[in-house]
Structures are given as C-alpha cells and as structure tokens.
Structure 1
Amino acid sequence: MTDNSIRLGFVCVQNAGRSQMATAFAERERAERGLEGAVDIVTGGTDPADEVHDIVVRLMDEEGFDLSERRPREVSTEELNACDIVATMGCSTLELDADTDVRDWALRDPDGADEGTAREIREEVRENVRALFDEIEASF
C-alpha cells in the first residue's frame, strides 16, 4: 500500500454472499479503472460461513466471476481500523476505533432468496461499488 492508496473493506457476518459480490465487483472496477496500485481491498466476516453461498457463486458466474474457490474468512478489527472506508452489507453495525468511514449499504441477504431477488441484490451491490469507485476516482 502506498501513502496515496485507499483501503476498502467489504464486511458482512458470514462473508459468503453480499461482501463476496462486492469484493468481486470492486476488483473488476479497480482493474478497469487502472487503480491496482491505488486501491487495496479487504473482505471478511464477523462469523464466517464455511463456503460462499451456492446462489452467489451461480449468479456471479453469470457476470464472469468464478467465486467457486473463494472461502469466507474472518476479518479482524485491526484490519478494518486500517481501512479508509468500510462498507457493511446491512447485517452488522461496526464500532471501529480508527477514523474510518463506515457505510451500511442495507442490502437484503441473497442466501435463501429466489434467483430474481438475488439478481436484484447483485445489481444493488454492483451499483454501490460503482458509485464508491466514482467517489474514489474523483478524490485523486
């Protein structure tokens, strides 16, 4: 991470759905905008699941992402305190000690949702990530 880089965190309880989608879209946005050296991405959950939800793997595959090998992971408070912006997915309220901008995206959970609803959630995630990257790009 360079001095001018921005560290983003995408967090939910299980790190098996919304935060995985957000991370994948953020990785794509970072690459498409040429911000690989300027944006660091952290993802995790407060109580991670064993695997990414099947519906999320399927629906993200439709968008060209292979999440089948990704594994939910626990994220530490220290990792999140090191972030400039942390986006929670609507399932947790974080209280961080650092001067971190915490934003709750208030997204529904795709796990257990029908495919149409899960696709709507995926689109909300995509739009939120795109808007976040628009904001970041404008700050450089």
Structure 2
Amino acid sequence: MISQKAKYALRALLALAEAGVGQSMQISDIADGQRIPRKFLEQILLDLKHRGLLSSRRGKNGGYALLRAPDLITVGEVLRLIDGPLAPLPCLSRMAYRRCEDCDGEDDCRIRRVFAEAHRANTAVLDATTLADMSGGSAHHRILGAG
C-alpha cells in the first residue's frame, strides 16, 4: 500500500505535468486544486525539489515547476523517492537489499520465489508508467496491451 504522502506527491506532480515543464505553479493553487493540505504539500514539494524532480522560484510568478518532462518521470521513481523501497521482502530490494535473518538460502526460499514474481510484475507496471501516461489515461492500455 502506498502512503498518503506518495499519493499526494503523485497528484501534485500530475498537476505540474499538466501545467508543462518549466511552468511554475504556486503551492496554494496545487493544494486547492488537488485537495491537499497546504502544510503537508509544502513538505512534499520541498522533498521532491531536493531529490531533483522540481525547481522553485520566489516572487509573484514563482512557485514549483517540473525539471524533467512528464514522460521521463515514472511512478516507480516517485514511490521510491517518497516511500523508499518497493520490495515486499528485504532480500528483493534494489535500494535496500538485506538478507532475511531467518533465511536458510534465497535460492531455496519458497516465500521469496512467490513474492519475487509478484514484485517483478508490480515494478514492471510502476517503472513503465510515466506521469505523461497517467495524464493521458493511456497507461493501463499501453502496459496491459489492451490497445
């Protein structure tokens, strides 16, 4: 399950994607339009800025803007930045790999095998879906081959 923070981050990024790369939006406009608490949104946008997804400008025409095109930002990337590793088991994580303490061997672990398959399917969708896909509503059709 994704956190509320990740959900708000995706909604804010989608609003910025629809505004266009380099086009600033003020926090209040994003908060009101996406129904996100302003103080929480400020923290989220600052995190995304520090992680290289957004820029910010002060002043009358200031606000936050995307640094990269929406088709270059994936859902998987955003979730990892906000919530951390996506893997359901530490032995499956790319970002935070750690051997399970009670494991007799990863190659023989039947639990790991099932969760590895589920994790591959999950990350395939999340890493293939971009903000542009979400904005256009085409992600579901493109990823699942539903034409």
TM (normalized to structure 2)?
Answer: 0.27
Q: Tell which has more relative contact order, 1 or 2 (C-alpha 8 A, sep 6+).
A: 1
* Richer in strand (by share): 1
Name the one with the larger helix percent: 2
